[in-house]
Amino acid sequence: MSEKKRTYRIMISGGGTGGHIYPAISIANALKEMHPDTEFLFVGAKGKMEMEKVPEAGYKIVGLRISGLQRSLKLSNLMFPFKVLFSVAKAFKLLKQFKPDVVIGVGGYASGPLLHAATKKGIPTLIQEQNGFAGLTNRLLAKKVDKVCVAYENMERFFPKDRIVMTGNPVRTDILSTEGKRTEALKHFGLSADKKTLLIIGGSLGARTINNAIAEGAERLVNEGIQVLWQTGKFYIDEMMERTKDIDSKSLKVLPFIKEMDLAYAAADVIISRAGASSISELSLVGKPVIFVPSPNVAEDHQTKNAMAMVSKEAAEHVSDSEAPEHLVKESILLLMDGQRQELLKENLKPLGKPNAAKDIANEVIALIEK
């Protein structure tokens, strides 16, 4: 009679943005699928979006009073050392209470104190770095943790080579199945099968530069016989609807948020997107031609570095945020009219997709526990 496996106890820490939270949830889901009785405790930063998103996904989360240093001279920076000390103390307390077999960090403020405490206590640790340019928290932790799961090549610039595992970034499984959905997708969004479709996604909150460029150039796109499926983000929907109200609504679909992303991807011939790590990982699996417009408002300009890693492989096009007002619509039209270029980008993009990333990371976690 085989011995019953014990219940694994796993702590996952990090957050601040969807780019950290969704991979964390995907890893937990993959582990739960492999070992259904696994017990999880997430650790986030109080007041950040993980405190809402993680419970929505069905997991328990505890918050630390931690935040980043502000780039400008602010009074809150004086509190930073105290927040770190209090958070590290609470992290030690949580580790003592929960007794995890392994601690996972996905980047963001909260993962620093917890991973630091875990390494001090000799608990097995793993970090997952989503970007091509490693975040500060993960760079500081790299020499102390047991494994570093990455999504880009040449990450030995930041991490010890013997601890790096190339897994890719975990993505939402619902977007993987776009095959054979084009007819359904066009019908769903009220689009024509006879026209090329440009999909614009600036993230769930939207991207002002991209939105402004599309609002200015929407009429030109429609006049070129292109139909536009445009997610503006909830903050911009009213303004963008007003600015484009005189353009034929059959060819211009303006939405605050697109829930059915599998259908949006299936309908698209070319996609305009920011260059966050999760977006790049998703779009690599979708395998459609992309123009990346990296956000300049992120730490260490990592979106530009992500995008340029794709451009260097001729797997995507790039328009900088500052050049978008003048060049984005023009570049979109050129790409939509160039079938040969589209095929080359698709061919080079698809091999970069890692559909089993969450499962591969889960296997690394289990190997650490069983070691």
Between the alpha carbon of residue 44 and those of residues 95, 178, 330, the distances in Å are 14, 33, 42
* CATH code, domain carrying 44: 3.40.50.2000
Same-domain status, 32 and 46: yes
If one counts the domains in the chain, the total is: 2
Residue among 237, 175, 247 nearest 202 (CA): 237
Query: What percent of the chain is modeled with pLDDT above 90?
Result: 73
Helix (H, G, I), strand (E, B) or coil at 288: coil
- Residue 2 lies inside a defined structural domain of this protein: no
Same-domain status, 192 and 339: yes
Same-domain status, 164 and 179: no
For the record, the structure tokens of 289 come out as: 């031609």
Question: 59-68, 93-102, 105-114, 351-360: lowest mean pLDDT where?
Answer: 59-68
Structure confidence at residue 1 (pLDDT): 38
**In sequence order, what are the residues at sequence separation of 6 or more whose Cβ sits closer than 8 angstroms to the Cβ of residue 15?**
21, 24, 44, 45, 48, 49, 50, 54, 106, 108, 109, 110
- Residue 238 lies inside a defined structural domain of this protein: yes
Between the alpha carbon of residue 28 and those of residues 40, 83, 244, 324, 370, the distances in Å are 8, 27, 42, 38, 17
Same-domain status, 223 and 244: yes
In angstroms, how far is the first alpha carbon of the chain from the final one? 23
Spatial separation of the C-alpha atoms in residues 223 and 149, rounded to whole Å: 46
Amino acid (1-letter code) at residue 222: V
267 has pLDDT over 80: yes
| Residue-averaged pLDDT of the chain | 90
Give the Cα-Cα-Cα angle 337, 205, 212 (nearest 5 degrees).
50
- Residue 3 lies inside a defined structural domain of this protein: no
273 has pLDDT over 90: yes
Question: pLDDT grade, residue 82 (50/70/90)?
Answer: low
Structure confidence at residue 70 (pLDDT): 43
Q: Which residue has the tokens 């102390």?
A: 144
- The whole-number average pLDDT for the span 33-40 is 96
- Residue 252 lies inside a defined structural domain of this protein: yes
Q: For 212-263, how does the pLDDT look when each residue is reduced to its tens digit (9 = 90+)?
A: 999 999 999 999 999 999 999 989 999 999 999 999 889 999 999 998 999 9
- Residue 1 lies inside a defined structural domain of this protein: no
Cross-strand bridge partners of residue 199: 229, 271
- Residue 271 lies inside a defined structural domain of this protein: yes
172 assigned ligand-binding residue: yes
Same-domain status, 310 and 214: yes
- Residue 131 lies inside a defined structural domain of this protein: yes
Structure confidence at residue 202 (pLDDT): 83
Q: Are 114 and 105 in contact (CB under 8 A)?
A: yes
Question: pLDDT grade, residue 177 (50/70/90)?
Answer: confident
Structure confidence at residue 48 (pLDDT): 84
Question: pLDDT grade, residue 169 (50/70/90)?
Answer: very high
18 assigned ligand-binding residue: yes
Same-domain status, 121 and 220: no
Question: pLDDT grade, residue 297 (50/70/90)?
Answer: confident
17 assigned ligand-binding residue: yes
- Residue 161 lies inside a defined structural domain of this protein: yes
Same-domain status, 302 and 239: yes
Same-domain status, 344 and 258: yes
Structure confidence at residue 103 (pLDDT): 98
Q: How far is CA 343 from the centre of its chain?
A: 25
19 assigned ligand-binding residue: yes
Same-domain status, 311 and 366: no
Residue among 212, 273, 271, 269 nearest 244 (CA): 212
User: What's the domain range around 190?
Assistant: 174-352
274 assigned ligand-binding residue: no
303 assigned ligand-binding residue: yes
Same-domain status, 163 and 194: no
Same-domain status, 192 and 287: yes
Cα Rg, the chain, nearest whole Å: 22
Same-domain status, 154 and 192: no
Q: For 331-369, how does the pLDDT look when each residue is reduced to its tens digit (9 = 90+)?
A: 999 999 999 999 999 999 989 999 999 999 999 999 999
For the record, the structure tokens of 100 come out as: 């995890």
DSSP 300: G
Question: pLDDT grade, residue 3 (50/70/90)?
Answer: very low
